[in-house]
Amino acid sequence: MSAQSERTLLFVKPDGVMRGLMGEIVSRIERKGLLIAAVKLSKLNKAQAERFYDVHRGKPFFEALVEHVASGPILAMVIEGPEAISVVRRLIGETSSFKAEPGAIRGDFGISVTKNVVHASDSMENAEREISFFFKKREILRWEKPTEKKFAF
Ligand code: IDP
Ligand code: MG
């Protein structure tokens, strides 16, 4: 049975961009064999960051999270591939960089919970909402690598 192709949203948080990790993170996604369907360097203001993280409103870490994500550029991308949502979540590792396993992005590069290098969608529903937060439909490319037949996994 072939795995279902999904799209997910990942962004490199300002701490990751400031520390020069954009290339490293894009590289890990490419080397995993996932496909990047859209990419954008962006900067959220506080109101936009609050709207993006609306589900966390009222939680004790909300203010610090919004403050951080709005503090500088972020690199947002749409990633496509078989079971991309859970595969990318495993690539980034646990929320707390202290607990994330070495080998995962947060495990290798993070030493904070708020500044944990990357964000990635956690469900199909959130992926859809988060992708449309950053990208218009026409900005998301449909393409295949000539070396790989999609859906042949
Ligand atoms: P996730 O990014 O792994 O999906 P969420 O629970 O959705 O984790 O939380 C969103 C973000 O809020 C986290 O990436 C992290 O930056 C921050 N955060 C979550 N829990 C805590 C906490 O207990 N302390 C400080 N920051 C937190
Ligand atoms: Mg989350």
1 CA → ligand 2 middle, Å: 29
The continuous run of DSSP H or E covering 69 comes out as helix 62-69
Q: What are the pLDDT digits (tens) for 71-127?
A: 999 999 999 999 999 999 999 999 999 999 999 999 999 999 999 999 999 999 999
| Ligand 1 binding pocket includes 98 (Cβ within 6 Å) | no
Residues around ion ligand 2, judged by CB within 5 A, are 122
- pLDDT, residue 146, reads 79
Q: What are the pLDDT digits (tens) for 14-69?
A: 999 999 999 999 999 999 999 999 999 999 999 999 999 999 999 999 999 999 99
142 CA → ligand 2 middle, Å: 26
126 CA → ligand 2 middle, Å: 9
Residue partners of 34: CB distance under 8 A and separation at least 6:
79, 80, 81, 84, 87, 88
User: Which residues are catalytic, by number?
Assistant: 119
Question: Which residue's CA is the closest to the ligand 1 atom numbered 17?
Answer: 114
* pTM for this model (two decimals): 0.95
Superfamily of domain 5-141: Nucleoside diphosphate kinase-like domain (3.30.70.141)
> Can you give the residue ranges of every domain in the chain?
5-141
Share of the chain above pLDDT 90, in %: 91
Burial of 149 (0-12, 13-18, 19+ CB in 10 A): exposed
DSSP state of 139: G
Say if residues 31 and 125 touch (Cβ distance below 8 Å): no
Q: What are the pLDDT digits (tens) for 43-57?
A: 999 999 999 999 999
Say if residues 89 and 9 touch (Cβ distance below 8 Å): no
